[in-house]
Amino acid sequence: MTLHIADAEQVLTEKSDQLNTRWYPYYHLAARAGWMNDPNGLVWFDGWFHAFYQHHPYSTEWGPMHWGHARSRDLMRWEHLPVALAPEGPEDKDGCFSGSAVVNGNELALIYTGHKFHGDPSSEDNLYQVQCLATSRDGVNFTRKGQILDTPSGLHHFRDPKVWKEGEMWYMVVGARVEDTGQVRLYRSEDLHHWHEQGILAEAPHGMGYMWECPDFFTLDDKQVLMFSPQGMAAEGYANRNLFQSGYIVGRWQPGEKFIQESKFQELDHGHDFYAPQSFLAPDGRRIVIGWMDMWESPLPEQQDGWAGMFTLPRELVITPNNQLQMRPVHEVESLREEWYSWPVSTLKNKQLCVMHNCEAAEVIVTWDTSLSEAEQYGIALDDGMRLYIDNQAKRLILERNYPQHNLCGQRSIPMPTGDELNLRVFFDRSSVEVFVNDGEACLSSRIYPQQRQLNVFAWSGNAVLKECGAWNLR
């Protein structure tokens, strides 16, 4: 069945007026209605930040993929635009899968995966994924140019192109699966239409996944970073606890040479919900990344409300001398701040105190003096459903959610950072929490579904000392 943009727009107009907004985000980007997953085509074009996304307008379940579209002047306040792509042609008849966007002269170019079956769709032997192109002069209406790269012989999973320009040449990485081994393949072009294979940029060693989705390849402080989402990695201790992971490898590369890896795979975000991150360059040179703040095969309670899925806050990426990527919220988030409320608490001992009665859209700052805090557990809690706390015995910072009514319970954690202070910058929205540790040393992002929104600070089995604590309400 061919699906058209006009049909999608009509459905979205009807469905967007019927949403239950109890968990719909205030300041994170979500679809007008229906399903959303991977960020696509993040780009600055003609005075706007553009964000596209995998989208099924017709239901809150994953389905034949379209490209939803929104734009913003400041990365915080988003204007929804018409659906950019629908599966309207023979090259993408079963879905317009993930991809990227580049500015080519006075045009905005979308490069995406056309998903199609030749025959019975129940058999992957009939699956073909090809790379396609669409262009626009106004950044709103796109002209489809069709297939630009066919499925390599013997492959079926071949998707998620990320394109960039190096000198006078365009380059593209594409995720692939060869039997049970994930790969990232490299291509080169002079015109975005004709592509030439440049070999395998990187391949999964044993245990590193059967498919590498959503590859991204970029330079940061003279290092090259391969960011991707491997499927099929086994959990190991506290690591790789989600169904699928997202992370990166740092190394060195230049055109015509091999990618020399200088680090092992490292997870980018340690929360319950982070997948398919994509990066882009802002006009001022910042490398900014946005991820999908959900996880495959995880309950999505908002589906009953007419929508599903949202993006993380945009985050600026920096790299440390020891090849660690750090993420911190873009400075534009500060434009959402209203009045600062300082909490009148400095020491806690075997008690819990309410510090906010309605923590719905807020930026919370908490700095613990860890050298003077010997409580077994101390932290903050959003009623009974979410806790962010230090476990002094395990020496870990733990993000815990407890929503048994939605089958969402469990913990994600990181080792306690070194030093005498622990600074936590925590962003709450209606159904999400994002924790930034020590100005980007680590990040934990998770969906939450509070019934009540009272925020408490607590310390059990001992005392804990706060050096700073308070919050901005975010408009």
List, by residue number, the catalytic residues: 38
d(Cα 469, Cα 343) in Å, to the nearest integer? 6
| Cβ neighbours around 269 below 10 Å, total | 27
Identify the burial level of 404 via C-beta atoms within 10 angstroms of its C-beta, where 0-12 means exposed, 13-18 middle and 19 or more buried.
Answer: exposed
Amino acid identity, position 227: M
Q: What angle do CA 309, 311, 316 make, to 5 degrees?
A: 165
DSSP structure string for 216-229: EEEEETTEEEEEEE
Q: Which residues contact 359 (CB under 8 A, 6 or more apart)?
A: 382, 428, 453, 454, 455, 471
What separation, in Å, do the N-terminal and C-terminal C-alpha atoms of the chain show? 42
Are the CB atoms for 8 and 409 separated by under 8 Å? no
d(Cα 149, Cα 2) in Å, to the nearest integer? 22
d(Cα 266, Cα 272) in Å, to the nearest integer? 16
d(Cα 111, Cα 147) in Å, to the nearest integer? 10
Please state the φ and ψ torsions of residue 102, each to the nearest 5 degrees: -140, 155
